[in-house]
């Protein structure tokens, strides 16, 4: 059975972009936890947070992770999926976990050119470049702990896909 592949990392690291390409390369399905939540609640992240707070959003995010988990599926996770220990353990136990890693300045530049504020409401109230620095300082160890493999997300998306495929074949051979 082909175990799911979970892509983790901060906002803007390319989980959705790379995940779609990786799923095509493998002939896998593609799911996205933020998108699943949006469809199942008919609300954006910003609306859920306004209605239920971040705590409510995080609880729904865990349900979304479980709902999309299936064999032969590439799963793009929300940037904060690793905050809960339950989610980190769930992903490691159910599949292969890949961290798309890039410096905060690169992430901030990408997000500035495509903000999508309804899906990415501010986490700290600070300007985006500062926020991404704070978020990576807080979360880098969680991404590292959750991941089976760390991949350089500053390369072109097709190179990122190749590096993931390489990591996975090494993982299978060992």
**Annotated binding-site members for Mg(2+):** 16
**Minimum distance between the CB of residue 109 and Mg ion, rounded to whole angstroms?**
16
16 is an interface residue for Mg ion by CB under 5 A: yes
Among ligand ATP, Mg ion, ligand SKM, none, what binds residue 133 when CB lies within 5 to 8 Å by partner kind?
Answer: none
- Per the annotation, where are the binding residues? 12-17, 34, 58, 79, 120, 139
The answer to whether 95 and 29 have CB atoms below 8 angstroms apart is: no
Task: Give the count of alpha carbons within 13 A of 53, CB side only.
Answer: 1
By CB under 6 A, the residues from 76 to 105 that bind ligand ATP are 76, 79
34 is an interface residue for ligand SKM by CB under 6 A: yes
Among Mg ion, ligand ATP, ligand SKM, none, what binds residue 47 when CB lies within 5 to 8 Å by partner kind?
Answer: none
- Per the annotation, where are the binding residues for substrate? 34, 58, 79, 139
Residues at the contact surface with ligand ATP, assessed by CB under 6 A: 9, 11-17, 34, 76, 79, 110, 114, 120, 153, 156-157, 160
């Amino acid at each position: 059975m082909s175990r799911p592949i979970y892509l983790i990392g901060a906002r803007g690291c390319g989980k959705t972009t790379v995940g779609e390409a990786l799923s095509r390369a493998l002939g896998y399905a593609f799911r996205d936890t933020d998108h699943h939540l949006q469809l199942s609640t008919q609300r954006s992240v910003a609306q859920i947070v306004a209605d239920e707070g971040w705590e409510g959003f995080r609880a729904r995010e865990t349900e979304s992770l479980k709902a999309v988990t299936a064999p032969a599926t590439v799963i793009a996770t929300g940037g904060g999926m690793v905050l809960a220990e339950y989610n980190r353990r769930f992903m490691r136990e159910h599949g292969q976990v890949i961290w798309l890693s890039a410096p905060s300045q690169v992430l901030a530049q990408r997000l500035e050119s495509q903000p999508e504020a309804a899906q990415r409401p501010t986490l700290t109230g600070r300007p985006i470049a500062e926020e991404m620095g704070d978020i990576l300082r807080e979360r880098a160890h969680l991404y590292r702990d959750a991941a089976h493999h760390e991949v350089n997300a500053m390369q072109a998306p097709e190179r990122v896909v190749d590096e993931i495929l390489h990591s996975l074949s090494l993982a299978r051979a060992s």
